[in-house]
Chain A
Amino acid sequence: MQNRLLFHQSSASLEVIGLPDYSNNENKDQISIISQWKLTIIDKPLIEGKIQHLGPIMDAFYIYSNLLINNEIPLYESKLIDMKADNLHIHNIVLKSSKPDVKPLIIKIGNSLLSDIINCFDQLNESSNVIIKKSAVLNNIPKKVRFGLNNKVKFFNFFLPPLIAICSLILFSSTFIYFYNPVEDKEKNELINSK
């Protein structure tokens, strides 16, 4: 018998179905082997998938909401899901099936539904009854977002070597700096005059 957990927020509800990992001495109410999940949104088609789809979809929603709030261009593209803002209030989601010959599912959601869905994901993340094994976060960053990170790295790589060179030149040449000492100069002049 599989366990079912439901996370509900206003118009969205997320159902997670799976089993506890008995080899890890887990409680019978827990879920750590997720076999299926379903995201139900009122007036929208049902979204469902397996564990390998849940992580990327959750990441997509979190990254997209961060882009939206940080005044950046809200655009997320990956193999599984594309998210784009139509305007300030409406967001366009394209869910691509991993099965061949299945047309992508296009859903339009508003800010209210976006926050409902993210709150469902928050409840799942915070639930002690579900354990999600997370893969490396960097691998999940889509090309469009990773492009920004690469640019930053390139920028540092471009400016760091000349900066280090200038600093080392200053440090090295500072050891040879001659400081003018007026007292010593006076003594020299006196010696010359006495001669």
Chain B
Amino acid sequence: MPNKVTIWKLRNNNPLRKSYMNNNIKLEEFDALIKITVEMSRYLYPYIREILQSKEDPENTSVIWNDFNKRFIELINERFNINSMRVKKLLNQSGNDEIIIKSLLILSLCISNKGYQKMINYLFI
């Protein structure tokens, strides 16, 4: 990745985004995005863990989870194409818990040195 602008452009390959543009992402660029994701999840592991933990105790009013979910929905509303059915599913507050938890769990399991390989496996299984 030569610079941040390249990463920003690559993000637009996501068909769920409002600014979706099909630039035909190359294999090396796809690999680079996965490596960045793995590095970020390694860096953010304490926060990811905290969010997962906040949902585990049903008696505890999970402030951390509510904050995270609120910000997640805000970002999706701001940047994603909300007319898409898949995005609507992400915005459904009662049904998006499973998607969020599984996504966070995948990120938390890919923080080792072989996290890149694990992430590839999870994406293609």
Q: Report A's interface with B, CB cutoff 8 A.
A: 10, 65-66, 68-71, 88-90, 110-112, 114-116, 118-119, 122-123, 125-126
Contact = CB atoms under 8 A, between A and B. Distances in A.
Nearest to B103: A69
Given A66-B125, A110-B53, A115-B49, A88 B109 contact: no
Given A70-B125, A122-B112, A115 B52 contact: yes
A89 B56 contact: yes
Interface in B71-107: 97-98, 101-102, 104-106
Nearest to A90: B56
B105 A89 contact: no
B45 to A, nearest CB: 8
28 contacts: A65-B105, A66-B125, A68-B102, A69-B102, A69-B105, A69-B106, A69-B109, A69-B122, A88-B98, A89-B56, A110-B53, A111-B53, A111-B56, A111-B101, A112-B49, A112-B53, A114-B105, A115-B105, A115-B109, A116-B49, A118-B109, A119-B108, A119-B111, A119-B112, A122-B112, A122-B114, A125-B114, A126-B112
